[in-house]
Amino acid sequence: MHHPGLQTAMAECGLIAILRGITPAEAEPVGQALYAAGFRLIEVPLNSPDPLDSIRAMRAALPTDCLIGAGTVIAPEDCARVQQAGGELIVMPHSDGAVIRAARQLGMAACPGVATPTEAYAALAAGADVLKLFPAEQLGPAVLRAWRAVLRQPLALVPVGGITPDNLDPYVQAGASGFGLGSALYKPGLSAAAVEHNARAFIAAWQRAQSAKETQA
């Protein structure tokens, strides 16, 4: 992990909030609710309404130990726009070396989506900080366990897609470093209080799973 802020945030709590569809008006209260629950990584997908305004609002409202970034980043030139809005994290559904390199050149953390070991190694060669296993439903804990055996350590592997408080434990036991959480955490129209309730359920499940893994070790 090249980005010290990302390293610190992942060590604090490996859960990434994915706020697809959030509006700038909701950004501050939802961001504060997530922070209060213990989240330190928040991404606003660029296919949300006015995503840069939402990133700006959260960056202004939240302490600096919370990393704000953009998701669904497809074009290299978007990295600079996200950075100008205060974003430090670039999350992608795919693995495009041009986007990874653009993020790294700006000193931002790059989190590409990968689904095969070939993509994983190519993303690492391009400078990825964290690998997002996407979609996690398709890959499953068995695939994550197999990847852990062949990918050089230490490396953050973060499953994304269909993760809930009830199903994250097998991924943690298989070697997940964290998770990207979408509709089970936030969907448009949810109040900040409802998001905080969901966030606390995820944090509790994450901590339980980590304790169980340490006990087994």
Catalytic machinery residues: 43, 132
Phi, psi dihedrals of residue 156, rounded to the nearest 5°: -85, 120
* Residues in CB range of 11: below 8 A, 6 or more apart: none
CA dihedral 157, 158, 159, 164 (to 10 degrees): 140
% helix, strand, coil for the chain, step of 5: 50, 15, 35
The tokens of 156 are what? Answer: 């953050």
By C-alpha distance, which of 112, 22, 29, 16 is closest to 68? 16
Q: How far apart are CA 163 and CA 120, in angstroms?
A: 20
How many whole angstroms separate alpha carbon 3 and alpha carbon 166? 31
